[in-house]
Amino acid sequence: MKLSIIIPCYNAEPYINELMDCLKPQLNEQVEIIVVDDGSKIPFESDIARVIRKENGGAASARNVGLDNAKGKYIAFIDADDLVSGDYVNKILEKIETGFDVCEFSWKTIGSGTFMDYKLRDATDRLSNPSACTRVFKRSYIGKTRFTEYKDAVEDEDFSRRLGYLGDGFKREYISDYLYFYRNYVEGSNTKRFKQGLTKTKRITYYFDHVTADMTDLLKEIKREDKYNEVWLLTNRCDLPELKRWCQISKPFHIWTHFLRGEPYADCEIIEPPIQIQVVIYIQYLHVIGGIESFIYNFVRTFYKTYDIALVVDTISDTQFGRISQYARIIKKPQKMIKCDTMIIPRILDDYPRFIEARQTIRMVHACRTNPKWYIPNDSDLVVHCSEVSRASFNSDGIVIHNPFHTNKKKALFLISATRIPAPDKGKNEWRMMKLAEMLNKADIPFIWLNFSEGKLDKPPKGFYNMGIETDIQPYIAKADYLVQLSDSEGYSYSVLEALTNNTPVICTPFPSAAESGIVDGENGYIVPFDMNFDVNKLLKVPRFKDKHTNKEIIDSWEKILGQPMPKVYDPQQKVKIRATREYTDVQMNMLISPGMEYSVTLARANTIINAGFAERIE
């Protein structure tokens, strides 16, 4: 076998089909095609290629699999979304007869966008681009060298430096004909994703007018960055020749980059990488307490182990920040674009955030349409109501998923409620609270009633206490004789849900979602009339029951929307150890950091400090 053509493929249709049609008439017994299907959603099949399927790991790992399985004396690489000439194979086989380590050939772009044309006219012409696709390699020249799988972009550049085919010291041939054609624009191509900052691998550019021989710290830093990133050094003079192994060195020119370090350099376009997250919950203002606030907290508590979740807010109280940040990252007023798989907007009154780009957007509806001016914005892929009652009140085509809940089994003993005061959307709730307390006192039924709310009930009756704000009332609910909820309307009351899941009965009015929440009069609580005309003594017989509430169906419904869980890349509780590489003032720690100092910070904070070039990670 003279020639093995290796083609990494990931969801490359229809481009790869056109490539196969081009190669098919060129094949003979001296040539093999190896397509490495890198976990495509629809497995690739071919009648002319040997197809090797593997889990998705990137182009570098796919090429390495191809190299490990190749039988040819010479190796060529083609990207699945590019094209080659009709005499690509014959021209290469002819040149193989002369023998070479590396053979370069002319190439140009096709399609819309900036046109590029690299024509080799004689043996003195050289290709400056590091692409492995515009060259053929003798397999013995490659040897055991493989593409770096740490990098998920620009792996050719790293491969070229380690093999040295941009320099000298090997037998070189060239083919003047145009054999390779790059597609200039392919939706979702890795090259485009790399420039946008969507790959893990980033471009880091250093500028120094003169790199002196004593700049050994720079050598260490660039060597460290090269493991995961593409590194450029722009300089007019470099006295550290060993740097060429770890980065691309060039005279200063106009360049785009994700991070610029070193001396100031004006001729540079800095492309801020977006923040990438699996699931974003966006809300403009997060109140101290409320149903939506409870939804967000319970949602992140339920799903933080299987999804990367971030809460993006304009304003958030310290209390909510403290408890939610244990399970999700919190981003306040972001200054850069955020890209995510799913964005959830839990409040219909919030504007759509234009700085978040999501593959799917979900509008949550946590209320009934008690105000005729309320409407569901037509800006999402899916509308999710917290109850059938909510959906019916809006006459919506959305789906219903009841609120997820994280059960806390701590117990306490008292009558309890958690109702906002004032709360005009809940109707005569405050009047009913006063009335029930008065009825209990008149019937000489002793009670302690704690109501957690930002507001206060004026001149509360004996036994009723305004407790102020408490974000987690489950320990009290779990020990209470009853949870009290006396609203005119509730979308899907979290207080009721908290009570039932802690086996605490409920005293409630007959708002429509009470039955949907699972309240059965006399079995797990009492449904009292809106006018409060009932015998209060019946409350002395406290129902005992075992609640069968489970989150499984709710979790299954959400996972169906959110998609297959992927490996998490962010753990808000994870801390890593780093070592300072230069002196700086850490604003979060409020202290001066000296070079060599070792300290532990969160993973997100570590990445920020490392990307800024102030520290290195301690393995």
Please spell the DSSP secondary structure of 251-285, one letter per residue.
----EEESEEEES--SSEEE-PPPEEEEEEEEEEE
Phi, psi angle pair for 415, to nearest 5°: -80, 135
- Reference 360, options 342, 378, 347; nearest CA is 342
3-state secondary structure of 135: strand
3-state secondary structure of 404: coil
- Reference 273, options 335, 222, 329, 221; nearest CA is 335
> Whole-angstrom Cα distance, residue 531 to residue 460?
19
pLDDT in the model for residue 103: 97
What are 72's strand-pairing partners? none
Q: What is the pLDDT of residues 228-238, one digit of tens each?
A: 999 999 999 99
What are 132's strand-pairing partners? none
Residue 402 token pair: 């009841």
Highest mean pLDDT (candidates 12-16, 136-140, 418-422): 136-140
Q: What is the pLDDT of residues 449-490, one digit of tens each?
A: 999 998 899 899 999 999 998 888 899 999 899 999 999 999
- Reference 361, options 379, 386, 336, 337; nearest CA is 379
Contact (Cβ atoms closer than 8 angstroms) between residue 601 and residue 575: yes
Contact (Cβ atoms closer than 8 angstroms) between residue 75 and residue 142: yes
Q: What is the pLDDT of residues 394-413, one digit of tens each?
A: 999 999 999 988 766 544 35
Strand residue runs (E) in 114-251: 117-118, 135-138, 172-183, 203-207, 210-211, 230-234, 237-238, 248-250
3-state secondary structure of 28: coil
> Whole-angstrom Cα distance, residue 605 to residue 590?
14
Please spell the DSSP secondary structure of 109-131, one letter per residue.
EESSS---EE---STT----S--
Mean pLDDT score of the chain: 90
Cis-peptide into 372, omega within 30 deg: no
Q: What is the pLDDT of residues 236-253, one digit of tens each?
A: 999 999 998 899 899 999
Express as a percent the part of the chain with pLDDT over 90: 62
Asked if the model's pLDDT at residue 566 lies above 80, the reply is: no
What ranges in 178-332 are assigned the alpha helix state H?
190-196, 216-226, 291-303, 318-324
> Whole-angstrom Cα distance, residue 348 to residue 378?
10
Residue 109 token pair: 């772009």
pTM of the model: 0.56
Asked if the model's pLDDT at residue 215 lies above 50, the reply is: yes
Q: What is the pLDDT of residues 80-137, one digit of tens each?
A: 999 999 999 999 999 999 999 999 999 999 877 678 899 999 999 999 888 999 999 9
- Reference 162, options 247, 99, 249, 240; nearest CA is 247
Contact (Cβ atoms closer than 8 angstroms) between residue 367 and residue 385: no
Contact (Cβ atoms closer than 8 angstroms) between residue 251 and residue 236: yes
Cα 331 to chain centroid, rounded? 13
Asked if the model's pLDDT at residue 186 lies above 70, the reply is: no
pLDDT in the model for residue 408: 61
What are 580's strand-pairing partners? 615
Cis-peptide into 25, omega within 30 deg: no
Q: Which residues, at least 6 apart from 564, have a Cβ–Cβ distance to it below 8 Å?
A: none
Task: Tell how strand 584-586 and strand 591-593 pair up.
Answer: antiparallel
> Whole-angstrom Cα distance, residue 392 to residue 382?
16
The residue extents of the domains of the chain are 3-187, 202-270, 282-400, 415-550, 575-617
3-12, 125-134, 150-159: which has the minimum mean pLDDT?
Answer: 150-159
Which residue matches tokens 């998920």? 152
pLDDT in the model for residue 543: 92
> Whole-angstrom Cα distance, residue 331 to residue 311?
6
Asked if the model's pLDDT at residue 309 lies above 90, the reply is: yes
> Whole-angstrom Cα distance, residue 196 to residue 4?
33
What are 178's strand-pairing partners? 106
The mean per-residue pLDDT over the stretch 150-168 comes to: 87
Write down the CATH superfamily of domain 3-187: Spore Coat Polysaccharide Biosynthesis Protein SpsA; Chain A (3.90.550.10)
3-state secondary structure of 362: strand
Q: What number does CATH give the domain 202-270? A: 3.30.160
pLDDT in the model for residue 412: 37
> Whole-angstrom Cα distance, residue 117 to residue 218?
35
> Whole-angstrom Cα distance, residue 258 to residue 105?
31
Phi, psi angle pair for 260, to nearest 5°: -115, 130
pLDDT top residue among 192 and 356: 356
pLDDT in the model for residue 525: 93
Report the number of secondary-structure helices (H) and strands (E) in the chain.
16, 35
pLDDT in the model for residue 363: 95
The mean per-residue pLDDT over the stretch 561-576 comes to: 80
**CATH class for the domain made up of 415-550:** alpha beta
- Tell me which long-range contacts 368-374 makes (C-beta under 8 A, separation of at least 24): 368/393, 368/394, 368/489, 368/490, 368/491, 368/512, 368/513, 369/393, 369/394, 370/425, 370/488, 370/489, 371/425, 374/348, 374/349
